[in-house]
A and B are shown apart, each in its own frame.
Chain A
Amino acid sequence: MAILKLTIITIFGLTAFANAGIAETAILVQSTTSTKNSGLYNHILPIFKHDTGITVNVVAVGTGAAIKNAMNCDGDVLLVHSRKRENNFVAKGYAKRRYDLMYNDYVIVGPVKDPANIVGMNDAVAALKKIANTNSKFASRGDSSGTDSKEKSLWESTGVNQIAHSGHWYRETGSGMGTTLNTAVGMGAYTLSDRASWRTHANKADFKIMVEGDKRLFNPYGVMLIDKTRCPNVNSIAGKAFIDWLISEKGQTTIAAHRFAGKQLFFPNTK
């Protein structure tokens, strides 16, 4: 352990390539792959930085991992999409409150061959039932992300015990959205994705949106400032400034202005 300490101290002095980001005001946001991979942060962060001078660093993992990291105090702001767990996070005192930020929706995508014959449906639960009944392959995130918990709750509504078929037609990748989409494309499996991740995913091959428009596919994002009494290291001033900006008119219009191939990806919904 003494060696480790010594090493850390040695390295601490070795910041030859020290990042300007550490010296100036910077905050760390624990967030999801869906927001990051769809380019949302690349769009809004430079504008925020221009307005406030604050650098925002984003760690993009699944919602479950992001919440865990936040509970370990490894971040200032949490921006995720799993309402139930966000409420739990607030209830446990890790944040004073949750702010509605924006939403989009989930879609079920699959190969054009469509073995379960679900194309054009707008009932997600019925579509999943058909997938199960035809033993068509379905790729699940299986990583306790926001999308994963949404998918699990949809399966619950179908009454199908899909986990019993895990390894057969039901395949849990245990990976992020992008990797799961790659896997689904690779093996011709249906999967549930948020619309932003799907739109911006480059490796679509012959995959199409099969099911959309079900109000159960609603995908709201929330943002929280990690509580300073829980985590004394939190930069609550800069963190608060980021949240205030996000829910301000400027922030909301900036989110709305983020487009991919001409289409809006996230819809601001701060009340």
Chain B
Amino acid sequence: MFNSHSTSKNHLAPILVDNISLELNNRLLINGISCQINAKGISVIMGPNGAGKSLFMRCLHGLATPNSGQIFYAEKPLSPDIQKQQSMVFQSPTILRRTVLANMLFVARQRGQLNPKTSIEYLAQVQLEHLAQHPARLLSGGEKQRLALARALITRPTILFLDEATSNLDPTSTETIEKNLQLVDQQGTKIILVTHDIGQAKRLADDVLFLNRGILTEHGPARSFFKSPASAAAKSYLAGQLVL
């Protein structure tokens, strides 16, 4: 079923971040980030706690607005129309107080996807179809996150954001989610994910953006990043040291 995804050129690319800064309560949380993110592949945002990873991703998706600077998708500034072609999976997913299937249908309806069969198919993709009629809030943490992923995928996003979506999950759920990510990646969906899991980053990343104290200190291909990180902060982060 994923064949229906567009494999043509990503029409939201290139993603251009032009010198964005964001200040909250007199603290500069994003400090002049500029970068260009590839049209395809999996971009992983890494960095120590409080580096501004999640906030940066929220800016990319339009959930937070920078005080200065701009973000362009294919040379157009971020708009609700562009946002609709993106999906985001949060660290702790919001689960509607309904059944699993009703959760799917709610999201599907927002994108004109009215056939319940499609929702069931996407649930099967994350091994949840047997729980379709189950109250969604009674799912385990891993099941909830898989549901959140299925909900994100049914919108057929051009860009998929994941904010530490697999932290604290059981290995099976993490594996299911990673497999799905690799699948949609192959089908041309751009994936941007924040993770603390270095192993996961190594498994998935095509390129890495490393943030420290609101500054983008490094952006390059995954292989070279993991092999020889340029900044001292990234080096010690990868070495498992406390980054101050």
Q: Do chains A and B touch in the complex (CB under 8 A)?
A: no
* Residues of A in contact with B (beta carbons under 8 Å apart): none
